[in-house]
Amino acid sequence: MLELRHRGGCPGPGGAVAPPPREGEAAGGDHETESTSDKETDIDDRYGDLDSRTDSDIPEIPLSSDRTPEILKKALSGLSSRWKNWWIRGILTLTMISLFFLIIYMGSFMLMLLVLGIQVKCFHEIITIGYRVYRSYDLPWFRTLSWYFLLCVNYFFYGETVADYFATFVQREEQLQFLIRYHRFISFALYLAGFCMFVLSLVKKHYRLQFYMFAWTHVTLLITVTQSHLVIQNLFEGMIWFLVPISSVICNDITAYLFGFFFGRTPLIKLSPKKTWEGFIGGFFSTVVFGFIAAYMLSKYQYFVCPVEYRSDVNSFVTECEPSELFQLQSYSLPPFLKAVLRRETVSLYPFQIHSIALSTFASLIGPFGGFFASGFKRAFKIKDFANTIPGHGGIMDRFDCQYLMATFVHVYITSFIRGPNPSKVLQQLLVLQPEQQLNIYKTLKTHLIEKGILQPTLKV
């Protein structure tokens, strides 16, 4: 309450500020009014100090315990802390990459479950930080409402996905038809219930803090749930749109760390003192080369390039299609200076390889700013990592801070430069319509084809 402190009042015991006399009242006016005013001012001063806090006033969060396996600790006990951390990070990185390959082999549905699991864990890590920072205030219903809002938002987004990509399955189930038809109304009603619960939980002395934490929860939902929804949307466009961006970010993290570890001398940004220009530049070139090669390798296989579709006849996801031109080899003329170097006029490439350069460039130049943002967040709350889930790496959010930013870019890139009408999705939407609606669409389409001269008026279809 800085305004109260700067008005002519004098601080009383405990730092309370007595309000100035009202106009028309003597300094020793109505005792009851003055007592009530003093109480309100005292409450405001005690619980309204949050607005005037500085970074040094943020309470310390207890450091997480070391969860490194004992076998690794014993094996690396003779190394310096720098090299010990290097080996721990390296071993855990290879382990996570191996598990990722296994989940890719298990199919797109397992990848969706993986994304959902990562989303929930990232949400938990961020919300836990908020709870630990402000746990001394004993906020009512904070964690309960946070998880309730997570449930509501997931219900909305995953319901939209079911309506878009599982139309043929929904058509066979009467109960699901009701849920899909009124999906947005149900989602809004669920959110509205949480909103009312929040309003009812407001306590006078906690107003500001409760609204801060309400905003904290919603920003966390924006960062985690909406971005993970975009990741799944990218996956439905074809597994290659999921794998190349994610692997590019992983490659950039690894190569930037290696270049910085062995050659780093010049600090890059104050938010992350260990980041260096050498690592940043080395990571950029390595990521572009990696993305170009990965795009070439994956473009050969239908399993990676075909859109992920749900087939009701086999009750599973399938990736079978005739690859689009984006994933068919094309001949490109080389620039004059490359012709002299390579001694050839043309080169055969998949068009997707050219797009991979844009994806890799974003992953290596803009993607790290997601990590810098996370570093600033952690510094604001005096923590090193979001959690201690992965030894040597920190929490899940520490590993996926750049992935969420990348997911948004890929989705925007696809919708802006790549996506065309999806015939199977259009057909699914038509099948959901009532017979009368289908007949009207047929008549309109027939009339349009006749006007364009594509269909003869006497020809029956």
Q: Please state the pTM of the whole predicted model.
A: 0.76
* Cβ-contact 276, 264 below 8 angstroms: yes
CA dist 387 and 62 (Å) reads: 11
* Cβ-contact 292, 357 below 8 angstroms: yes
* Cβ-contact 168, 425 below 8 angstroms: no
Cα 187 to Cα 7, 35, 191, 242, 390, distances in angstroms: 47, 47, 6, 28, 35
N- to C-terminal Cα separation, the chain: 76
Q: Where are the alpha helices (DSSP H) in 166-206?
A: 167-172, 174-181, 183-201
Cα 399 to Cα 92, 249, 307, distances in angstroms: 12, 10, 27
- So where are the chain's domains? 66-106, 109-324+354-422, 423-460
Query: Which residues of the chain carry a pLDDT beneath 50?
Result: 1-34, 36-37, 39-41, 43-44, 46-55, 459-461
Note the pLDDT tens digit of each residue in 11-68: 444 444 444 444 444 444 444 444 544 544 454 454 444 444 444 555 555 555 666 7
Q: How many CA atoms lie within 13 A of 355 on its CB side?
A: 19
pLDDT of 251: 95
pLDDT of 72: 72
pLDDT of 450: 67
Per DSSP, what are the bridge partners of residue 267?
Answer: 276
Cα 178 to Cα 110, 155, 199, 236, distances in angstroms: 27, 15, 30, 24
CA dist 347 and 32 (Å) reads: 90
Backbone angles phi and psi of 275, in degrees to 5: -80, 135
Q: How many CA atoms lie within 13 A of 216 on its CB side?
A: 23
pLDDT of 425: 53
pLDDT of 168: 67
Q: Tell me which DSSP letter residue 327 carries.
A: G
